[in-house]
């Protein structure tokens, strides 16, 4: 918060103006060097992965070339090849793209469902709240992991889109609960009633008055969730219940290390993917924490 000074002229008035939300975030990142580096690194990786992968063909990359099995990293294959003679570097790029796409898509879809339902439940309360919350409870008691595993084994030609679908089906509940609880508190504020007395319809109040007041929580929650969702994809694939080998992801690359021979003697196959996941997770978490502090005045550094 800027310290109020005596205003002699207009330029000083401008200075006293408290910073907008975006400026607070910028300041937080400038103060927190780790978060700033994380942000640059993360954006760099994302941009590089998406741009580079545009020139790659999944079929080409995943074509088995048995004569090139387990090549060590060299000038032709930067990071060597796996047991099918496939280039690890290209798989890494495609895998990172797929994993990021899955993570981002699941985060967005679950957020949209969670925000919409949570906002409705929290704003209206009563039976609306009851219906939504009992639905959430129902979804929560389902053994999600088991259903996902069954779905993966049953559905032929499992791909990125189907994976996003089945994951989104189960992971919107916690967001819905979070938003609902915040909306419950927010709707009691008088500005909601005040807005009603001005003849503003409910949907407008929900979208343009209540939702912006929840935005900080939503942004923080989405960021931290992104890391979690990438993690879920990777671990499921590692266990063999995620994407097939024809669709490379960070998880498929790491899952090659289930073979002890690869694990011990051919680290170039799985190590890059593992490091990339580590770096991405740390980056996202540092960024998320910086955003979290920016949203809470008491924790701010800047």
Q: Which residues bind other proteins (CB under 8 A)?
A: 13, 17-18, 124-128, 189-191, 193-202, 209, 212-213
Nearer to other proteins, 193 or 263 (CB): 193
Distance CA 105, CA 17 (A): 38
Nearer to other proteins, 13 or 275 (CB): 13
Long-range contacts of 54-62 (CB under 8 A, 24+ apart): 56/90, 56/93, 56/94, 58/94, 58/246, 58/247, 58/248, 61/86, 61/87, 61/90, 61/91, 61/94, 61/248, 62/86, 62/91, 62/245, 62/246, 62/248
- Nearest approach, Cβ of 5 to other proteins (angstroms)? 14
Strand partners, 87: 81
Nearer to other proteins, 67 or 127 (CB): 127
Q: In 10 A of CB 198, how many CB atoms?
A: 7
Task: Using alpha carbons, list the distances in angstroms from residue 74 to 60, 65, 87.
Answer: 20, 17, 11
Nearer to other proteins, 154 or 297 (CB): 297
Q: What DSSP character marks residue 87?
A: B
Nearer to other proteins, 44 or 212 (CB): 212
- Nearest approach, Cβ of 121 to other proteins (angstroms)? 12
- Nearest approach, Cβ of 129 to other proteins (angstroms)? 9
- Nearest approach, Cβ of 140 to other proteins (angstroms)? 24
Q: What DSSP character marks residue 210?
A: I
Nearer to other proteins, 58 or 200 (CB): 200
- Nearest approach, Cβ of 134 to other proteins (angstroms)? 16
Q: What one-character-per-residue DSSP string does 147-171 give?
A: HHHHHHHHSSS--HHHHHHHHHHHH
CB of 126 closer than 8 Å to CB of 134: no
Distance CA 247, CA 158 (A): 9
Distance CA 274, CA 113 (A): 31
Nearest by Cα to 269 from 291, 250, 242: 250
Nearest by Cα to 97 from 63, 55, 69: 55
- Nearest approach, Cβ of 146 to other proteins (angstroms)? 37
- Nearest approach, Cβ of 73 to other proteins (angstroms)? 52
- Nearest approach, Cβ of 244 to other proteins (angstroms)? 46
Nearer to other proteins, 97 or 180 (CB): 180
Nearer to other proteins, 184 or 271 (CB): 184
Taken as a whole, the chain contains a residue count of 302
């Amino acid at each position: 918060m800027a310290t109020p000074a005596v205003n002699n002229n207009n330029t000083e008035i401008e200075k006293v103006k408290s910073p907008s939300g975006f400026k607070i975030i910028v300041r937080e990142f400038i103060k927190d060097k780790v978060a700033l580096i994380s942000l640059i690194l993360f954006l760099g990786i994302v941009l590089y992965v998406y741009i580079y992968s545009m020139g790659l063909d999944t079929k080409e990359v995943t074509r088995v070339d048995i004569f090139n099995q387990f090549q060590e990293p060299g000038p032709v294959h930067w990071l060597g090849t796996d047991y099918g003679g496939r280039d690890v570097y290209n798989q890494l790029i495609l895998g990172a793209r797929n994993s990021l796409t899955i993570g981002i898509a699941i985060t967005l879809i679950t957020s949209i469902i969670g925000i919409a339902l949570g906002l409705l439940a929290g704003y209206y309360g009563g039976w609306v709240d009851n219906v939504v919350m009992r639905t959430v409870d129902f979804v929560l008691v389902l053994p999600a992991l088991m259903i996902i595993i069954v779905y993966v084994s049953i559905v032929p030609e499992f791909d990125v889109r189907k994976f996003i679908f089945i994951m989104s089906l189960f992971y919107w509940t916690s967001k819905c609960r979070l938003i609902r609880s915040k909306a419950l508190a927010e709707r009691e504020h008088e500005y909601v009633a005040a807005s009603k007395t001005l003849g503003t319809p409910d949907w407008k109040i929900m979208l343009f008055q209540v939702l912006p007041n929840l935005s900080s929580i939503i942004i923080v929650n989405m960021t931290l969730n992104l890391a979690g969702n990438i993690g879920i994809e990777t671990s499921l694939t590692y266990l063999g219940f995620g994407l097939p080998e024809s669709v490379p992801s960070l998880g498929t690359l790491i899952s090659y290390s289930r073979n002890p021979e690869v694990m011990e003697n051919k680290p170039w196959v799985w190590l890059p993917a593992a490091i990339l996941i580590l770096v991405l997770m740390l980056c996202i978490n540092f960024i998320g924490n910086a955003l979290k502090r920016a949203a809470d005045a008491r924790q701010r550094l800047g």
